[in-house]
Chains A and B, each alone.
Chain A
């Protein structure tokens, strides 16, 4: 999917010390989190937006969203239900403003899945691979230039 992936922030939220965005691929559509979010029915959009705001407010509640441990410790998931079927948006966390605001956190959502109790590790493996891909970093750097890792040239 890289190098054609793009990144955009979620609309309609206020980002202070955290932000949420989607990584997506217009051509292959494998990264489907944004497509699913954009076509949510109103009632579910409200639930997901409220979950997003709780995370942006730095609330902690595993039933709504959580990270993972071990080799997936940068992966993240937002959770809700549709007719008792668990719905999930998977992505990863990063610090896209290392120079000017190191504690600023970004959740980059990529995949949608419906699931049982256990998370499919295949998705998390794919996220782990993609989050280290230079093309993904470049896509995010379009919004957060510091994330490219390139130092600004001295001007004086």
Chain B
């Protein structure tokens, strides 16, 4: 495949890993930005220097699962590793941002186990005036809204049908 037509995360496994790790560090940095824990305190909890923390956050390509877990736990977060099929086996579109999985989990009522998923969980979709598929670049539909909401900005209702 032409290198330019390939998604950059398809060129090497390292690139794919870098993107996934970068999605993860964005979550960490958002948590740090929201306080109360700062880089210095995070470093103390991890027993490393503040510059080591900055280095990892700025260049997350070398993150290992163990250190990812340590960083997440130090910030009071947990970590999940998710494998998924998105209908893009050739990875032409790149990976799905991990924050999207997190957002979906919250919108589903934060299920703790499969018991919470019993019955038909109905998640009301956000209506943008156009189906998500219709927003693809191939589509030329005319009934498009001015702007679709930004990631993290939306809210929705979750209804569990018993």
Among listed B1-9, B105-113, B118-126, interface-contacting one: B1-9
Q: Which residue of B lies closest to A99 (CB)?
A: B142
In the complex, chain B residues whose CB is within 8 Å of the CB of A80 = 58
State which size class the interface on B falls in. Answer: 35 or more
Contact B33 A49 (CB under 8 A): no
Q: Given the complex, which residues of A lie within 8 Å of B151, measured CB to CB?
A: 57-60
Across the interface, do A101 and B135 meet the contact criterion of CB distance under 8 Å?
yes
Q: Does A70 contact B (CB under 8 A)?
A: no
Cα A43 to Cα B142 in complex, Å, equals: 41
Among A3-48, those with CB < 8 Å from B are 11-17, 19, 43, 46-47
Q: Contact check, A11 vs B4: say whether CB atoms are below 8 A apart.
A: yes
Q: Bin the interface of chain A by size.
A: 20 to 34
Q: Across the two chains, which residue of chain B brings its CB closest to A8? A: B4
A-B contact pairs, 21 of them (CB 8 A): A11-B8, A12-B6, A13-B8, A14-B92, A14-B94, A16-B93, A16-B135, A46-B18, A47-B22, A49-B15, A50-B19, A51-B22, A53-B97, A57-B97, A57-B151, A59-B26, A63-B29, A80-B58, A100-B140, A103-B144, A103-B148
B contact set with A: CB distance below 8 Å: 3-9, 11, 14-15, 18-19, 22-23, 26, 29-30, 33, 58-59, 61, 92-94, 97, 99-100, 135-137, 139-142, 144-148, 150-153
